[in-house]
Amino acid sequence: MDLVPAPSGETPVKVPVVEVEAVDVAEPVNAESVALEEASSVYETDSDDSDGWDAMSGDDTIQMLRDEQLRDGLVPGACTLEEAVTFRNRLHAIGKAAFVEETIVRETVTAKKLCTAFGIVPPAFLEGAPDESFHPLLAIAISREFSRRRKLPDYNTIDDAVRLLRESKNIIVLTGAGISTSLGIPDFRSKDTGLYSKLEHLGLSDPQEVFDIHVFREDPSIFFSIAKDILPTEKKYSPTHGFIKLLQDKGKLLTNYTQNIDNIEANAGVLPENIVQCHGSFASATCVKCEHKVSGDAIFGEIKAGNVPECSACRQIIEADALKPQGLKRKRSSNGCQKDRKEFEDSSDEEDYEIPNPGVMKPDITFFGEDLPDEFGRRLIHHDRELVDLVIVIGTSLKVAPVAEVPGILPRDIPQIYISRTPVSHTGFDIDLLGDCDVVVSELCRRAGWDLKHHMIPVDEKVDVTPVEGYESRHVFQVVGA
């Protein structure tokens, strides 16, 4: 979704943090609920209709296709990967209306087959239905594809990536949990080892609820029962954090947009003015009642013990109230708000007095359902967007909006490099460098002639880089002998 330019100086990315479903996972879609007239209007417009996709719901589930499945011919009657790429390129070249005229109207390909070019497995509930029944799904799939950033053809090789590093002067680095896993801090979605896979004992319908602001308000103990597992225990940092610091030292770092809440960037020496903590961090905490703010260190002991940290300022007020004569005490509601003093000075009913509890100290991290910091949208749209000449996305699957939309918000002619263990398919990066983040960045620095020093990088480390079959711009990094 292209969200720029922002109208009237507003920041279009000032929206609550939400989990988003990328197109490489299953999404519930009820195709029969969409009229063909609606499909036709989508075909003929250049607007992004991803909201229409998200609004479709039902019991029938549409399975999303990955390019690897097309390449391996795993779906009968589907396009080959080469055909799919050709259709996608043609769509971007001539626009949606002309593309539909060229394919569906002229009947050069069926809507059912064309759906597979844009990542949709023909659903079983439409088996035997007229081809027109696939138009609603196809309309939305075409609109989603048309809104995606397209890969720039000039950047494909490791040498291209190294050249971009050397020549670029204003680099945006967007980071996720993958840059901290080598320090023993779990990411969220890795199978068996990710944090979400270990939360079944909490009895949540969805493990992501542990970071839901409504759940926190109802029972903060759920969050604090796992907070100790993601809280950094030492002042250390990974080679990837060191790489970001190296970009800063070379005067190349424009901004590090980090989704991480561990604040490890500071340990590496990345300056506060070069970091946007997209989801906040544990660096500070605020009382949910009186808004008293403290440094994160002040409550780390309680968090590490698995306790719910309480506000010391609230406690002092409560203790002071306890020393006053009963008639002079201030009545407080259960949420800690002070009631009108005169209202209760006329009352002698001791049962009216409610003993308040201290407020909970909530770390200043952004939960699902809360707005991102103002600085995120303001800096991205009104400053960095005009200066950036290279984007490097490291250690994130880009599943959380609005940060996930950053690659698409930035100018599409700016090269983008993706570094992580597994690729993503819902946005088009120019070069995919797959492997452990620390290994990838250390090898890039070697090839660039840069000295990235870190005790976790062996002096004699040798890295083997192999291209992925069928992808000229996708490469796998593996330590020799590992």
Q: Which residues are annotated as a binding site for Zn(2+)?
A: 287, 290, 314, 337
- The CA distance from 433 to 10, in Å, is 35
Strand partners, 198: none
Closest CA to 77 of 39, 43, 122: 122
Which bin fits 321, alpha (ψ -120 to 50), beta or left (φ > 0)?
A: alpha
- The CA distance from 253 to 430, in Å, is 20
Annotated binding site: 287, 290, 314, 337
Residue for token digits 């609230």?
314
Residue for token digits 């493990």?
207
Strand partners, 257: 174, 276
DSSP code per residue over 392-459? EEES----EETGGGHHHHS-TTS-EEEEESS--SSS--SEEEES-HHHHHHHHHHHHT-----TTS-T
Active site residues: 279
- The CA distance from 156 to 355, in Å, is 66
Q: Which residues contact 301 (CB under 8 A, 6 or more apart)?
A: none
Strand partners, 18: 401
Q: Which residues contact 128 (CB under 8 A, 6 or more apart)?
A: none
Q: What is the token pair recorded at 431? A: 């070069």
8 A C-beta contact, residue 395 and residue 388? no
Q: How far apart are the first and last CA of the chain?
A: 40
What does the buried/exposed string (b/e) look like for 339-349 if buried means 16 or more CB atoms within 10 Å of the residue's CB?
A: eeeeebeeeee
8 A C-beta contact, residue 408 and residue 427? yes
For residue 336, CA distances in Å to 287, 339, 386 come to 11, 9, 46
DSSP code per residue over 62-77? EPBPPHHHHHTT-STT
Closest CA to 253 of 162, 157, 173: 173
Helix, strand, coil percentages (3-state) for the chain, rounded to 5, are 40, 15, 45
- The CA distance from 251 to 293, in Å, is 34
